[in-house]
Amino acid sequence: MPVIEILVILVAGFGAGAINAVVGTGTLITFPTLVAFGYPPQIATMSNAIGLVAGSVSGTWGYRRELRGQWPMLKRLIPASFLGALLGAWLLLHLPPSVFAAVVPVLMITALVLVVLQPRIQAWARRRSEAAGRAADHLSRTKLTLLIFGTFAVGIYGGYFTAAQGTLLIGVMGVLVSEPIQRMNAAKNLLTGIVNVVAALSYTIVAFDRISWSVAGLIAVGSLIGGAVGARYGRKLSPGALRAAIVALGLVGLWRLLV
């Protein structure tokens, strides 16, 4: 592998790890980079997913403080992410890429709209809860069911393609959960990390010989450092700034997917 290719993949891995910790669209940096160097899309997807596991771990650890108090909800969402990732990984190995590629832009646009409207939606939900005499942060059975289903669906998408799954998950959680966006971001890092681990293990077991392990290793080193850096500085952003970053990077990711 040429030195310039090694350096570019390392930098792409660092950028992806940092962005994943804050937003969740880091794959839209590493995936096009690998394709540009001539790696087939399926090999690029699998190698990239394995490499980004390290960044998921460091990003989740960096947001560990914001995870406190969320375990009653997360213990229901973790199995949904796990099972969704298994199904998504199976789809990647058995279906043509064009199947999901057709719906990715729609999912991205929907997620970005949900992120933008999140404050108004949460204010509306808060008023309804208070009018009904419930606690403002009450998570009803209907909301919990929708949240579990939404997490499962995002897990399928993440196990298949991984790109922008964090944006989708933030969009789903923003509509249903009355939590500050930084706490939702911490939950997002944990759940997408689980998806990445499950997908990586599935690819390793089923398609070991189709993975570029040198690429996966380079992305792992870069994303491990990037995840720690992204968590350190991303958690200091105001809710408005973090929401703006999610939308801006999501739009860039959407553009790159379409182009």
Whether the CB-CB separation of 184 and 222 falls below 8 Å is answered with: no
Q: How far apart are CA 204 and CA 199, in angstroms?
A: 9
Residue 45 belongs to what domain range?
Answer: 3-258
The angle, 0 to 180 degrees and rounded to 10, between the axes of the packed helices 181-206 and 141-160 is: 40
Each residue of 43-91: pLDDT tens digit?
888 898 899 999 889 888 888 888 888 888 899 999 999 999 999 888 8
- The model's pTM is 0.76
Q: Which of 150, 218, 222 is nearest to 187 (CA)?
A: 150
CA–CA distance, 48 with 44 (Å, rounded to integer): 6
The band of 148, judged by pLDDT with boundaries at 50, 70 and 90, is very high
Domain total in the chain: 1
Tell me: the pLDDT tens digits for 32-46? 788 888 888 778 888
